[in-house]
Amino acid sequence: MTIAVYGAGGIGCYVGGRLVSGGAEVVFIGRQRLAGELAEHGLHLTDYLGADLVVPAVRYETTPAAAAEADLVLVTVKSAGTATAAEELKAVLKPGATVVSFQNGLRNGEVLQERLPEHTVLTGMVPFSVLNRGGGAFHQGTEGALDVQKNAALSPYQAAFERAGLPLKQHDEILPVQWAKLLLNLNNPVNALSDLPLRDELAQRSYRRCLAAAQSETLSLLKAAGITPAQLTALPAHRMPAVLRLPDFLFKRLASKMLAIDPHARTSMWEDLQAGRRTEIDYLNGEVIRLAESLGRTAPINTKLVDLIRAAETGRSTAIPGPELLSLISA
């Protein structure tokens, strides 16, 4: 069985590389820049637990046609590219191929299914962060298994993911899991605007209060919409804002696991800003705004975070101190 990773950037190279290291046959499909990088350096994967894997030779293609042989396709393109990816895949996928969206946001699975009606399309989620260190090196900085919709079509591939050290955690309902991940991802703009590693950012109460404010606003909207987020961490989602607001000394004592993350871990949004790329803010905080609009309400805190990231995308400096950022989103 062949697995294709479609849109193989940071997450795609890491997940696909782990699959290769476990013995799976994987074809990576993405941009020429990464194809050249991996041809020169190979693939070097590390994680926060000390794993250090070298995959000296990978098959990295740059055209959609390479997905024609795949039995399972993992879509890891940025959310803005989902519709285009679906049309490209529609032209080449063989009958019976299964497609899994491992992307941020809430709607990518729906977009893929609409355009690939003859294929099994499943929604998945990657809960951990991956930092692209350059030179073919990718680092998993935080914990988590791979979450995905429960479906019998995944049965032939479960062993491959187990061998890769990335077991598939299947869920009957994926939307509560997606919202739980999105609540955590509301930290992406805070981290990107802080210009700090995740551990250093979360160690400062003012930044945590920014995240708590964005989460509280979102939780209120979810309650109004009748959506209960799944519990992905030791803390239920509704308790997290209160813990985030604790003074530093209490937070370090009561939520030490939240700070027990790799010192190099950062968010993909920070990485996008550093590379001058458009971020996925519309598919994270933007989803909160859309939820508010569907309820006839507003989401001023998440709206302000979107505005600040949009300004950063135009080249305005980040590295906003915590107290200043808290003041900006609270104004």
- Residue 256: its pLDDT value, please? 79
- Residue 142: its pLDDT value, please? 82
**Interior CA angle at 59 toward 11 and 131, to 5°?**
20
Q: How many CA atoms lie within 13 A of 268 on its CB side?
A: 27
Same topology for domains 2-172 and 177-330, yes or no? no
Superfamily of domain 177-330: N-(1-d-carboxylethyl)-l-norvaline Dehydrogenase; domain 2 (1.10.1040.10)
Which residues are CB-contacts of 187 (< 8 A; sequence separation ≥ 6)?
198, 201, 202, 211, 267
Among 92, 90, 83, CA closest to 111: 83
- Ranges of each domain in the chain: 2-172, 177-330
Find out whether 119 and 97 touch, Cβ atoms under 8 Å: yes
Label residue 330 by pLDDT band (50, 70, 90).
Answer: very high
User: What's the sign of the alpha-carbon dihedral 263, 267, 270, 272?
Assistant: positive
- Residue 316: its pLDDT value, please? 74
Label residue 254 by pLDDT band (50, 70, 90).
Answer: confident
- Residue 315: its pLDDT value, please? 83
Is the pLDDT at 129 greater than 90, yes or no?
no
How is 260-306 classified by DSSP, letter by letter?
Answer: -S-TT---HHHHHHHTT---SGGGTHHHHHHHHHHTT---HHHHHHH
Q: If you ran DSSP here, which 8-state letter would residue 93 be given?
A: P
Of 144-148, 194-198, 216-220, 254-258, least confident by mean pLDDT is 254-258
- Residue 74: its pLDDT value, please? 98
Label residue 305 by pLDDT band (50, 70, 90).
Answer: very high
Question: Distance between CA 281 and CA 286 in Å, rounded?
Answer: 6
Question: Distance between CA 198 and CA 177 in Å, rounded?
Answer: 22
- Is the pTM higher than 0.85? The answer reads yes
Among 201, 220, 330, 171, CA closest to 267: 201
- Residue 58: its pLDDT value, please? 92
Question: Distance between CA 172 and CA 295 in Å, rounded?
Answer: 26
Question: Distance between CA 104 and CA 102 in Å, rounded?
Answer: 7
Label residue 176 by pLDDT band (50, 70, 90).
Answer: very high
Domain at 2-172: CATH code: 3.40.50.720
